[in-house]
A = this chain, B = another copy of it.
Amino acid sequence: MSIEIKIRLNNNLYLRDPQETTLGQRIIKDGIILIDEIGLEQFNFKKLAKKIGSTEASIYRYFENKHILLIYLVSWYWEWISYLIDMRTMNIESAEKRLKIIIKILAHASKNDPAINYVDQDILHRLIIAEGTKAYHTKAVDSENQKGFFLNYNQLTDKIGKIILEINPHFAYPNALASNLFEMANNHCYFAQHLPRLTDVQVEGDNFGEVEKMLCYFAFTLIGKVNEAE
């Protein structure tokens, strides 16, 4: 007996729902691990098939190609962040406090949730940081956006944007700030580790505390309300 969390995603993202079968779950689980290991460019379905002891053809029965698999994983991440936000900001009155919690989630992604055993969330977080934006930086953005492939990102931005407006209803850029907090969280975790001259924060191991602090400073300074929560 255990609680099982199922993350619902646009069913045009897959040919067969990977969450429904053990093979599908292994594609997700080891797909994340392998992309993290060798990078999206070196990754392909043949290598993944070998890793999970299956065949290329079988993986193609679940996902059209690796690009769609990436969008699936990224969507999964967006939806999971959304879920974490809902869980952890529930019953919290202060919008400032809620935004602080959101920023913590964006920076740390959070430790593994045992309720989902076919996704290693720490590795997925690293994958999103390194490869995430490739999902929507292609010539197919417009058509894929129309199919709703990026709905989860849009909704996440909406959700954070609304909380920003709660703090300051006159703030002119709620959605831009929301998406920027997300992108900045990922970028500066990456920069700290690979291109340190592009940032001022430092990351020791997987402690993204400084990233969180910076995002808080940026967000609350921009929104223009002194953080009453402290």
Docked pose: A200 CA to B133 CA in angstroms: 19
Known contacts A39-B139, A134-B134, A137-B133: A176-B188 contact under CB 8 Å: yes
- Cβ of A199 and Cβ of B179 under 8 Å apart? yes
- Cβ of A145 and Cβ of B195 under 8 Å apart? yes
Residue A83 CB within 8 A of the other chain: no
Docked pose: A41 CA to B173 CA in angstroms: 33
Residue A141 CB within 8 A of the other chain: yes
Known contacts A139-B38, A200-B173, A200-B174: A150-B195 contact under CB 8 Å: yes
Docked pose: A199 CA to B39 CA in angstroms: 29
Known contacts A138-B39, A139-B41: A157-B217 contact under CB 8 Å: no
Residue A172 CB within 8 A of the other chain: yes
Known contacts A136-B195, A154-B198, then 14 further A-B pairs from the complex at CB < 8 Å, ordered by chain A residue: A131-B137, A134-B134, A137-B190, A154-B195, A172-B214, A174-B200, A175-B199, A176-B188, A176-B198, A176-B200, A180-B180, A183-B183, A221-B224, A222-B222
